[in-house]
Amino acid sequence: MPMKKRIPFVAFHTRVRDETLKGPNPYRWEVRTTEDYFSGKRVVLFSLPGAFTPTCSTRQLPDFEKLYDEFRDAGIESVYCLSVNDAFAMNAWGKALGVEKVNLIPDGSGEFTRKMGMLVAKDNLGFGMRSWRYAAVVNDGVVEKWFEEEGLSDNCESDPYEVSSPQNILETLRTAPVS
């Protein structure tokens, strides 16, 4: 994705807690758009292959959560984790990992990921269509910095994870001027 490119407009079907609802599942549907998430803010967006998968669950999401305050200190307003998973899977994953700071975005249909040019087949792992691992600094809906793992392809045999790590993004934010 070229820098300075506006991210695509997409509506995400999320589940949000609603204290007015009774019972064991007090959540309601809420549609949030890319405008809701990205307009007027400088954020980090990172995308990964799937909730509850090894690298995503043991390193990537936990490290973004742990380093969240350092992102804030570097001028980032919010950190978003996006995956081609539904809202139920994303909410359960966040709860299982104790995520409190990073906002999880469900791209259930893969529409956003497809429009970003990052949708890949992972049939070799039994996943179907998923996101390639990448991250971006997005300023008011425009890509300011882009971090894409090498080897973007369908049914990739490896699972690269370096370029889109929170440590690499923070280092870039600390050493590079705002574009």
The single residue of 45, 56, 97, 173 carrying the catalytic annotation is: 56
Within 13 A of 173's CA, how many CA atoms are on the CB side? 24
- 99: alpha, beta or left? (left if phi > 0; alpha if psi -120 to 50): beta
Under DSSP, the state recorded for 92 is: H
Coil, helix or strand at residue 28:
strand
Q: Is 56 a catalytic residue?
A: yes
Distances (CA, A) of 18 to 7, 13, 84: 29, 15, 24
CB atoms under 10 Å from CB of 43, counted, come to 20
Q: Which residues are catalytic?
A: 56
